[in-house]
Each structure stands twice: as structure tokens, then as C-alpha cells.
């Protein structure tokens, strides 16, 4: 196709300009985290004069960042594992067995992708209170599993349906039970789908701050995103530490992304299109 | 199910010797366990998603003292929400902001994403880099995005005003988040910054699914660029345009996190950045000003209205997706 309307240089320039707008704030965040507050105020755009880690030391003294970090890791890892277990069990059932209610169950789960659960937050708060889960990491884990299940089941069911049944039937002839078939035969073949689900759900649970905002008030039970909230409330003058906090909060996702950028991008779009 | 059981029963009856019936029973047990498989997912999802949403609906018909339920009041909460001051003004104020949220995101996030996806689709050099660059903000937590931009938009030390000054554009310097005229727009544009890469990927997937044969055929028929775009590319892009529109719609009407991170639960300044979800949070959990005056009944009524509003458009989306599946 010829480009009579836009000449190439124009849209090169345009695309790269937008790219720099996308990246620059993140770069600014990382660079600023190595500056003192005074340096940020006097020369906000310059490179840091020396890459000192003082701001990070200050930050770790001000807030229990390692506690937040540990909480975030526990919540995300446990949630993702539970999502994988519960969703693959349910998806296996939906995709491989044809009982009358299978489609109903499938639709019931699908509904969850469209329900704005934030609007049920008052009953949820009371429910968590009754279950004695307020200020417990379990409140978050249950929420992330519950919100993660619909999409995960959708993706896994789609994959199950594309897989040949022969292997399963062979295993069944050998007397293997359903659980064994799922675990030993089916799941090893499902690694790509499981990986997609894992990445989508990990991003969601790691970055969420709505549920901990409501359920967690105990400082030692906070995850990184709500920990940020109190950091900004209390130390709003120490910009160096604030930038360091933001950088640290984002670091794990950045590292994972540079290890597996393709899977991240494919995973998230698959989440939307499916 | 009934059919399944009947065959099992028949098989049992046929089993004559003791040993055979035992292995049959074992096999039946093994088969039966399959019905346990969806139960963990159903329980967690039912308890923490489906139940609260239905409960929220019933909450709206009761009077509430804090989080203690009072008497049944019918539709009073809904009536108050729409007729009692200041609630009704606040509702329509926030509703208008949600509409603006949606409109600006459609233009600045999705419009831009469409163009950029097209550029990447045309395989300019560095397209891999561009994809990653656009997507990068999406890795940050919304709260990080909010705080980062709050620092950048700070009127005294923030990078944006400094950059404007260096460019000799002092006249454009502003207290972006402190001015009721610009605060909401600033937040929405930050949201566009955050969501741009996601839109690019969705549209790119759309472009890439256009069959090459159709483009070749169009070219052979001597179609010019313009008619190629309007006659072939745009119609085939309708599915991805639909998806982005609906996702943006839902997201716009649920907008909470970014506003909360940047302007707190009061939608400062002067409710100029209030959205329905922020207003809902305030009604349900009280203001951030220390006074714990909650209005759970009103909040629940608002949740129901918002829920129905979103559900209506979501239903359209589901219907469309169903049709798409049939087509495939």
C-alpha cells in the first residue's frame, strides 16, 4: 500500500514521540530515586549527580518495606497457585464431560468477567468481618482467587477443548482416575495456557490496591500498593524516598517483564479477547 | 446426569460375580469424583463474587446505621439518591465526569492506540521497541501511576512545569491537579497514558488477523489507500474496536483507583474529579476527613444503579461475543 496521506518520516516521528512520552515518566521515576530531595527540587530533569542509595536506605527506615514485600509475595503466589488449581479442576470438568449443567456452570463463571465486584464491597466487608478475615492476608487471597477464576476458566477451557482426547482415554483404559489423568496427562500439555493464566493473575494480584485499601488496616499486613498509600500520606516532603518507594514497588514486575515481555503482552491481550 | 446414572446402574446389575462388582464399584466411585472438580471454584467464586453482588442489591432496600442493618424502607434510598440534596447533585456531577472519562479515553487512548497499532502493523523499523515502550506503563500498579503523576504534575517542583519553563511555555504552567478546570482532564489523560499500550496490542491483534488475501484482492482491483482503509480494513477491525469500546466503557464507569490515588476520596478540588465509584466509596465507607458518616443504604442504591447501567452494556457485549463464536 502506498502512503499518500502520511509520509513515512512523519509517522516514524509520531510513533517514537509517543513512545518517549510512555517511557519518560518511568525513567524519571527511576532516576529521581537516586537523588536527594534537594537535588530533585533544584534540578528535577538532570541526571543524578551520584548514584547514591541513601534514599533507599531512608525509605527502608521509614516504612517496613520488606514486610510489605513479603506480604505481596505471599498473597500473589498463594492466589496464583489456588487459581491454577481451582480453575483447572473446573475447566477440566466443563470441557471434558458433557452433563446437562456444564454449559450453565460455564456461563455462571463467565458472568463473573463482567460483574463489577467493586460494587459489592460493602457486603464483602461485612462478610470478611463475619469470617474474621479483616486484616488477614486470606481476605486478599480469597478475593484474588474469586476474581481470577472466571477468566482463568475461560482460557483453560478453551485450551482443554483443543486437545486430543486419545491420551486421556488411553490412561483411563489403564485404570487411571480423573485426578491422575488431569495431573499426569493433561496439565503437562497445558503449560502455555497455564503460563498465560499465571502471568495475568500475577499482575492483577500484585498491583491491586482496592481490596487491601478496604480490608487491611494493620500496617504489618499491608501489601506494597497500600503500603505506598501510607508512605505518601506521612512522608510527602521526602521526594527522594517517595520516588524510591515507587521504583521498588515496580521493580519486580519490570524484572519479570524483561525476562518474558512477549508472554506478558500476549497474556494480557488474550485475557481481553478471549 | 440421569442417563449417566442409569447406565451405571445397569452395569452394576449385570455384574454377577463378587470380584467384578467390586472393581465396578471402584470404577463408579472414580467416575463419580469428577463431580467434585468444579466445587472449589464454585464455592470461592459464589461466596466472594456472586453473593456480595446480590447482597448489595438487597442492602439498597434497607435503612442502615453504620454497617448495622435497620428496617426495610423499600425504594426510599433510590428516591433520596435522585431527589435529596446534596445527593442528587453529587450523583449527576459524578455521572457527567464518568461520561467525560469515557469520551476522552475513546479519543486520546483508543484513537491514538488505533493509529499507533497501524504504524506497528506496517512494520516500521523498531516496531518491537515501540510495542514494549507503549506497554511499559501498564506494568505499574495504578497507585504507583497515580503518585508518580502527582509528583510530575506538582505545581512547584513537578517535572511538567519545569519542562514547560525550559521550552519557554511558562504561560501554560498550571497547578494541574489543584484547578477544578484541569484536574479531571489531567487524571483522565494519565489514565490514557496507562492504558495506551493495552489498546495498541488489542488493535494490533485485530490488524494482524486481517487475511492477506483480502488486501491483495483489493490491491489487484485497483483500490486506492483510502478505499482500502474504509472498505476493507475498518470493517474487519470492527471486532477489536467493539472490544476496546466496551472494555473502556466498563472501566470508565468503574473508575476509582486513579482518582483516589491522585485526589483522595473527596474528588478534590470541590468534587471536580468525583466519579460514581469514588462517590460510592464515600457513601459506603465515609469520608477521608475523619468523620465516619456512612450512608450504606444510599451507597448500595448507587451501586445498584451503576451495576444495572454497566450490566446493560455488558449484556450487549456478551451477546456480540456469542454471535462471534457462532460465526467462527
pLDDT at B128: 87
Same domain, B113 and B173: yes
Instruction: Using CB atoms within 10 Å of the CB of residue B321, give its burial: 0 to 12 exposed, 13 to 18 middle, 19+ buried.
Output: middle
pLDDT bin (cut points 50, 70, 90) of residue B327 is low
- Name which of A107, A116, A223 to mutate to probe chain B: the one with the most chain B Cβ atoms within 10 A of its Cβ: A116
- Beta strand segments in A206-268, E: none
By CA distance, what is A84's nearest residue in B?
B41
Angle, to 10 degrees, between the axis of helix A137-162 and the axis of helix A191-207?
Answer: 150
For A:230-249, CB contacts with B below 8 A are 232, 239, 242-243, 246, 249
In a domain, B78, yes or no: no
Torsion angle of the four alpha carbons B259, B265, B271, B272, in this order, in degrees rounded to the nearest 10: -10
Same domain, B63 and B192: no
Same domain, B42 and B111: no
Average pLDDT over residues B14-22: 48
Same domain, B166 and B134: yes
Q: What Cα–Cα distance (Å) separates residue A46 from each residue in A3, A50, B72, B163?
A: 39, 11, 62, 11
pLDDT at B322: 63
The alpha carbon of residue B230 and the mean position of all alpha carbons in its chain are separated, in whole angstroms, by 29
Q: Which of A22, A40, A118 sits opposite B137 (nearest CB)?
A: A22
Q: Which helix (H) or strand (E) holds B65?
A: strand B62-65
Q: Where are the alpha helices (DSSP H) in chain B?
A: 2-14, 18-32, 39-45, 51-59, 76-83, 87-104, 112-121, 127-135, 142-152, 159-166, 183-208, 212-220, 225-227, 234-253, 257-263, 276-285, 296-327
pLDDT at B152: 93
Q: Which residues of A touch B115 (CB under 8 A)?
A: 14
- The HSE-up count of residue A176 (CA atoms within 13 Å, CB side) is 16
pLDDT bin (cut points 50, 70, 90) of residue B29 is low
pLDDT at B42: 93
In a domain, B79, yes or no: no
Same domain, B66 and B92: no
Alpha carbons B296 and B115: distance in angstroms, whole number: 44
Which residues 6+ apart lie within 8 Å of B313 measured at CB? B246, B249, B250
**What total number of domains does chain B contain?**
2
Q: Do A124 and B33 touch (CB under 8 A)?
A: no
User: CB distance from B47 to chain A under 8 Å?
Assistant: yes
Alpha carbons A269 and A203: distance in angstroms, whole number: 13
* pLDDT tens per residue, range A63-111: 898 999 999 999 999 999 999 999 999 999 998 887 788 888 998 898 8
Q: What is the CATH number of the domain that holds B150?
A: 1.10.3720.10
User: CB distance from B114 to chain A under 8 Å?
Assistant: no
3-class secondary structure, B200: helix
Which residues 6+ apart lie within 8 Å of A119 measured at CB? B53, B56, B280, B303, B304, B306, B307
In a domain, B239, yes or no: yes
3-class secondary structure, A58: helix
Q: Which residues of B touch A199 (CB under 8 A)?
A: none
Q: Which residues of B touch A89 (CB under 8 A)?
A: 37-38, 40-41
Alpha carbons A154 and A256: distance in angstroms, whole number: 24
Q: State the smallest CA–CA distance between residue A39 and chain B in angstroms.
A: 11
- The HSE-up count of residue A128 (CA atoms within 13 Å, CB side) is 24
Same domain, B43 and B178: no
Domain that holds residue B68: 2-72
Mean pLDDT, chain B, whole residue set? 82
pLDDT at A183: 85
Q: Which residue has the higher pLDDT, A13 or B321?
A: A13
Same domain, B124 and B39: no
Average pLDDT over residues B24-40: 74
In a domain, B50, yes or no: yes
Residue ranges of domains in chain A: 51-273
Q: Do B166 and A45 touch (CB under 8 A)?
A: yes
pLDDT at A3: 47
Q: Do A119 and B137 touch (CB under 8 A)?
A: no
Same domain, B194 and B171: yes
Q: Which residues of A touch B257 (CB under 8 A)?
A: 209-210
Which residues 6+ apart lie within 8 Å of A176 measured at CB? A184, A185
Q: Which of B45, B205, B277 sits opposite A273 (nearest CB)?
A: B205
Alpha carbons A29 and A24: distance in angstroms, whole number: 9
Same domain, B89 and B55: no
Looking at B72, B94, B116, the residue that finishes a domain is B72
pLDDT at B321: 64
Alpha carbons A160 and A193: distance in angstroms, whole number: 9
Q: Which residues of A touch B157 (CB under 8 A)?
A: 40-41, 44, 239
Q: Which residue has the higher pLDDT, B128 or B191?
A: B191
Same domain, B122 and B211: yes
Assigned C-alpha cell, B251: 472501566
3-class secondary structure, B72: strand
Which residue, among A211, A207, A212, has the nearest Cα to A251 in the 3D structure? Answer: A207
pLDDT at A238: 83
* DSSP letters spanning B220-273: HTT--HHHIIIIIIHHHHHHHHHHHHHHHHHHHHT--HHHHHHHTTTTSSTTTT
Q: What is the DSSP letter of A4?
A: S
pLDDT at B76: 82
Q: Do A119 and B307 touch (CB under 8 A)?
A: yes
Same domain, B34 and B101: no
Assigned C-alpha cell, A196: 498465560
pLDDT at B6: 42
pLDDT bin (cut points 50, 70, 90) of residue B10 is very low
In a domain, B314, yes or no: yes
Q: Which of B131, B256, B306 sits opposite A265 (nearest CB)?
A: B131
In a domain, B274, yes or no: yes
* pLDDT tens per residue, range B185-219: 999 999 999 999 999 999 998 888 888 888 888 88
* pLDDT tens per residue, range B238-297: 888 888 888 899 899 999 999 999 988 887 888 888 999 999 998 888 754 444 466 888
Q: Which residues of A touch B142 (CB under 8 A)?
A: 207, 209, 225
Largest CA distance in chain A: 75
Q: Which residues of A touch B233 (CB under 8 A)?
A: none
Assigned C-alpha cell, B145: 501511576
Q: What is the DSSP letter of A34?
A: T
In a domain, B80, yes or no: no
Q: What is the DSSP letter of A47?
A: P
Largest CA distance in chain B: 97
pLDDT at B22: 54
User: Number of helices (H) and strands (E), helices first, in chain A?
Assistant: 15, 0
Q: Which helix (H) or strand (E) holds B62?
A: strand B62-65
Alpha carbons A265 and B129: distance in angstroms, whole number: 13
Same domain, B14 and B99: no
pLDDT at A273: 58
Taking one residue from A and the other from B, the number of pairs with CB-CB distance under 8 angstroms is 261
In a domain, B77, yes or no: no
Mean pLDDT by 10 residues, chain A (274 residues): 59 90 94 83 76 84 90 96 95 85 88 84 92 94 95 90 82 81 84 88 91 91 90 82 91 89 78 58
Looking at B16, B40, B72, the residue that finishes a domain is B72
Give yes or no for a contact between A168 and A236, defined as CB atoms under 8 angstroms apart: no
* pLDDT tens per residue, range B73-109: 888 888 888 888 788 888 899 999 999 999 999 999 9
Which residues 6+ apart lie within 8 Å of A24 measured at CB? none
Cβ atoms within 10 Å, residue A29: 23
Q: Which CATH superfamily is domain A51-273 in?
A: MetI-like (1.10.3720.10)
Alpha carbons B276 and A245: distance in angstroms, whole number: 30
* pLDDT tens per residue, range B143-167: 999 999 999 998 888 888 888 888 8
Give yes or no for a contact between B182 and B205, defined as CB atoms under 8 angstroms apart: no
User: CB distance from A17 to chain B under 8 Å?
Assistant: no
3-class secondary structure, B157: coil
Amino acid at each position: 500500500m502506498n502512503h499518500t496521506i502520511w509520509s513515512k518520516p512523519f509517522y516514524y516521528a509520531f510513533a517514537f514521540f509517543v513512545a518517549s512520552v510512555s517511557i519518560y515518566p518511568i525513567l524519571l521515576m527511576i532516576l529521581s530515586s537516586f537523588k536527594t530531595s534537594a537535588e530533585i527540587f533544584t534540578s528535577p530533569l538532570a541526571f543524578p549527580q551520584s548514584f547514591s542509595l541513601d534514599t533507599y536506605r531512608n525509605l527502608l527506615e521509614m516504612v517496613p518495606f520488606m514486610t510489605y514485600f513479603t506480604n505481596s509475595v505471599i498473597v500473589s503466589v498463594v492466589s496464583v497457585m489456588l487459581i491454577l488449581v481451582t480453575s483447572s479442576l473446573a475447566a477440566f470438568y466443563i470441557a471434558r464431560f458433557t452433563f446437562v449443567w456444564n454449559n450453565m456452570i460455564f456461563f455462571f463463571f463467565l458472568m463473573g468477567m463482567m460483574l463489577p465486584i467493586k460494587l459489592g464491597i460493602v457486603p464483602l466487608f461485612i462478610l470478611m468481618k463475619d469470617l474474621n478475615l479483616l486484616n488477614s492476608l486470606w481476605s486478599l487471597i480469597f478475593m484474588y482467587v474469586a476474581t481470577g477464576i472466571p477468566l482463568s476458566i475461560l482460557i483453560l477451557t478453551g485450551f482443554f477443548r483443543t486437545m486430543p482426547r486419545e491420551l486421556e482415554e488411553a490412561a483411563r483404559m489403564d485404570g487411571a482416575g480423573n485426578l491422575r489423568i488431569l495431573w499426569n496427562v493433561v496439565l503437562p500439555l497445558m503449560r502455555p495456557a497455564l503460563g498465560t493464566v499465571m502471568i495475568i493473575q500475577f499482575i492483577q494480584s500484585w498491583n491491586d490496591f482496592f481490596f487491601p485499601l478496604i480490608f487491611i488496616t494493620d500496617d504489618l499486613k499491608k501489601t506494597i500498593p497500600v503500603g505506598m498509600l501510607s508512605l505518601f500520606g506521612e512522608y510527602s516532603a521526602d521526594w527522594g524516598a517517595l520516588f524510591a518507594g515507587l521504583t521498588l514497588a515496580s521493580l519486580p514486575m519490570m524484572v519479570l517483564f524483561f525476562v518474558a515481555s512477549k508472554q506478558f503482552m500476549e497474556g494480557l491481550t488474550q485475557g481481553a479477547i478471549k | 446426569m440421569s442417563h449417566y446414572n442409569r447406565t451405571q446402574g445397569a452395569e452394576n446389575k449385570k455384574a454377577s460375580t463378587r470380584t467384578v462388582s467390586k472393581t465396578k464399584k471402584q470404577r463408579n466411585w472414580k467416575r463419580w469424583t469428577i463431580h467434585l472438580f468444579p466445587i472449589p471454584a464454585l464455592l470461592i467464586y459464589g461466596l466472594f463474587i456472586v453473593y456480595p453482588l446480590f447482597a448489595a442489591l438487597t442492602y439498597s432496600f434497607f435503612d442502615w446505621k453504620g454497617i448495622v442493618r435497620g428496617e426495610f424502607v423499600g425504594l426510599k434510598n433510590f428516591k433520596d439518591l435522585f431527589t435529596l440534596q446534596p445527593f442528587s447533585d453529587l450523583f449527576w456531577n459524578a455521572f457527567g465526569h464518568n461520561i467525560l472519562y469515557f469520551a476522552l479515553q475513546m479519543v486520546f487512548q483508543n484513537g491514538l492506540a488505533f493509529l499507533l497499532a497501524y504504524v506497528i502493523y506496517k512494520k516500521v523499523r523498531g516496531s518491537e521497541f515501540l510495542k514494549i515502550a507503549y506497554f511499559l506503563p501498564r506494568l505499574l500498579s495504578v497507585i504507583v501511576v497515580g503518585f508518580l503523576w502527582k509528583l510530575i504534575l506538582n505545581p512547584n517542583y513537578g517535572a511538567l512545569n519545569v519542562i514547560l519553563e525550559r521550552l519557554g511555555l511558562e504561560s501554560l504552567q498550571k497547578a494541574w491537579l489543584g484547578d477544578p478546570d484541569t484536574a479531571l482532564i489531567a487524571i483522565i489523560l494519565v489514565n490514557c497514558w496507562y492504558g495506551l499500550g493495552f489498546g495498541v496490542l488489542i488493535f494490533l491483534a485485530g490488524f494482524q488477523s486481517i487475511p492477506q488475501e483480502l488486501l491483495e484482492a483489493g490491491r489487484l482491483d485497483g483500490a486506492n489507500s483510502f478505499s482500502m482503509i474504509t472498505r476493507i480494513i475498518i470493517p474487519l477491525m470492527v471486532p477489536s474496536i467493539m472490544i476496546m469500546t466496551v472494555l473502556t466503557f466498563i472501566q470508565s464507569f468503574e473508575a476509582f483507583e486513579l482518582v483516589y490515588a491522585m485526589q483522595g476520596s473527596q474528588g478534590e478540588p470541590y468534587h471536580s474529579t468525583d466519579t460514581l465509584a469514588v462517590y460510592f466509596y464515600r457513601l459506603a465507607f465515609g469520608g477521608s476527613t475523619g468523620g465516619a458518616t456512612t450512608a450504606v443504604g444510599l451507597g448500595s442504591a448507587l451501586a445498584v444503579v451503576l451495576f444495572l447501567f454497566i450490566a446493560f452494556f455488558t449484556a450487549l457485549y456478551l451477546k456480540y461475543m456469542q454471535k462471534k463464536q457462532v460465526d467462527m
